[in-house]
């Protein structure tokens, strides 16, 4: 076969206008052969990239899964509880105010409560006493607080109106007083006054307001010796923020701003906060891992340039232009990054799934990450290859061929 430039020369001088050009596909094939042919070095570089990408994917995935789990476990009690505290000196009547609150949209239960000073309480007028926290509360407040009745009954309206000498005890207080059953109508004594225990309740876990509490009917609050009243409001899920804006007006229309309303943290904001804080931390770690991977690729590619000077010189001597050399080495580092990114994505997904399933969390992974991992590897690899590729292209053929 006669090659094109020989055909042209048959009748005269050489064609100096002819251009030499290496097609991108040829450069890609040469790059792939170089990566494949230098297996150990390529494998180590790929492992570095894979580690960086796996860290990035894994941390993003685990963070998302963990945030989901935090959301699930977020204290559902607090997320639907609103409290409104009256200022000192303003009486909170037991009737209309609480009724107003209960009529608000999204309110499941509401009641008034107040706290007194601790009291020494005994089973008889003169014997041994235990120190208990004195409270006065409407039964609706206890229910809104998600206390559950263990024995006996809640107060009824008559207990308060008549000023009956009755109390309720929380489980811990009853235990301290040695009251195991209400069948015999046990009495407790406070300052020589006898009170009938009508009910024993259990406060929710991790809630301390009614721990070791002896509770009087709410009307006792109005007689003095107790702190300002507080309304405890239980809302439907998601309604707390809205109810919080309305509860003060419902309780005290004359001066709603004087009440102090406490709302739970907004769930979505809370979740976002947790997620963004943990993601920021882990993304920082992932960025460092990627930087290390990029330095690894850059270093390996640069060492390859130094080692392959004769090959570069030979390619230049046989027609490769500077840009052809640049493109080949960029392709090489890009391939290393792409393969490393793909393996890293698989490892990162596995790590996320393993960690989440091990903790019984729902595995949450953005599908974009699955495509993003290899792309990120490709980008990191290509960027890391720029300097070595330019260094290779700058080599003079004579200098490159002298290195043998």
Applying the rule CB under 8 A, the residues between 7 and 26 that interact with another protein are 9, 13-23, 25-26
Q: List CB contacts of 44: < 8 A, sequence separation 6 or more.
A: 300
Question: Contact 130/177 with Cβ under 8 angstroms?
Answer: yes
Question: Contact 140/86 with Cβ under 8 angstroms?
Answer: no
Is 404 near another protein (CB under 8 A)? yes
Within 10 A of 274 (CB to CB), how many other CB atoms are there?
17
* Nearer Cβ to another protein (196/401): 401
Q: List CB contacts of 145: < 8 A, sequence separation 6 or more.
A: 81, 113, 203, 204, 207, 209, 210, 232, 234
Binding mask 275-314 for another protein (x = CB under 8 A): -----------------------------------xx-xx
Q: How far is the CB of 331 from another protein (least distance, A)?
A: 13
Choose the binding region for another protein from 33-41, 69-77, 329-337, 381-389 (rule: CB under 8 A). 33-41
* Nearer Cβ to another protein (23/276): 23
* Nearer Cβ to another protein (140/332): 332
Helix (H, G, I), strand (E, B) or coil at 384: helix
Is 40 near another protein (CB under 8 A)? no
Sequence-ordered strand ranges (E) for 140-217:
148-152, 166-170, 187-190, 193-202, 213-217
CA distance 33 to 30: 5
Residue 53: how many CA atoms within 13 Å on its side-chain side?
34
* Nearer Cβ to another protein (231/400): 400
* Nearer Cβ to another protein (31/248): 31
Is 34 near another protein (CB under 8 A)? yes
* Nearer Cβ to another protein (21/153): 21
Residue 357: how many CA atoms within 13 Å on its side-chain side?
6
> Residues in the site for another protein, rule: CB under 8 A?
1-6, 9, 13-23, 25-26, 30, 33-34, 36-38, 310-311, 313-321, 324, 397-398, 401, 404
């Amino acid at each position: 076969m006669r090659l094109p430039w020989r055909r042209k020369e048959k009748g005269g001088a050489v064609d100096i206008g002819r251009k030499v050009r290496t097609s991108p596909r040829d450069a890609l094939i040469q790059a792939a052969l170089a990566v494949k042919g230098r297996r150990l070095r390529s494998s180590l570089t790929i492992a570095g990239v894979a580690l960086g990408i796996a860290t990035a994917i894994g941390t993003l995935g685990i963070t998302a899964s963990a945030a989901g789990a935090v959301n699930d476990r977020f204290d559902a009690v607090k997320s639907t509880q609103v409290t409104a505290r009256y200022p000192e000196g303003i009486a909170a009547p037991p009737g209309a105010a609480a009724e107003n609150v209960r009529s608000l949209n999204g309110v499941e239960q509401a009641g008034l409560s107040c706290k007194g000073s601790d009291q020494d309480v005994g089973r008889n007028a003169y014997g041994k006493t235990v120190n208990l926290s004195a409270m006065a509360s409407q039964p609706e407040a206890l229910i809104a607080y998600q206390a559950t009745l263990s024995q006996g009954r809640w107060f009824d309206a008559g207990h308060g109106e008549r000023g009956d000498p009755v109390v309720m005890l929380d489980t811990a207080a009853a235990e301290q007083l040695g009251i195991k059953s209400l069948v015999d109508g046990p009495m407790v004594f406070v300052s020589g006054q006898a009170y009938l225990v009508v009910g024993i309740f259990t406060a929710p876990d991790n809630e301390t307001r009614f721990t070791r509490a002896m509770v009087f009917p709410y009307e006792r609050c109005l007689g003095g010796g107790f702190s300002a009243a507080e309304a405890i409001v239980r809302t439907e899920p998601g309604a707390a923020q809205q109810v919080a804006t309305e509860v003060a007006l419902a309780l005290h229309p004359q001066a709603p701003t004087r009440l102090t309303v406490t709302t739970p943290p907004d769930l979505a904001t809370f979740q976002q906060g947790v997620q963004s804080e943990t993601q920021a931390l882990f993304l920082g770690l992932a960025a460092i891992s990627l930087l290390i991977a990029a330095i690894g690729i850059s270093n390996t590619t640069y060492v390859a340039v130094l080692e392959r000077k004769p090959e570069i010189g030979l390619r230049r001597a046989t027609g490769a232009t500077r840009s052809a050399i640049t493109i080949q080495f960029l392709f090489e580092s890009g391939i290393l990054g792409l393969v490393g990114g793909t393996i890293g994505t698989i490892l990162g997904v596995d790590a996320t799934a393993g960690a989440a399933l091990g903790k019984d969390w729902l595995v949450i992974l953005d599908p974009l990450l699955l495509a993003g991992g290899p792309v990120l590897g490709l980008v990191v690899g290509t960027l890391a290859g720029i300097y070595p590729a330019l260094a290779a292209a700058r080599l003079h053929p004579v200098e490159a061929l002298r290195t043998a």
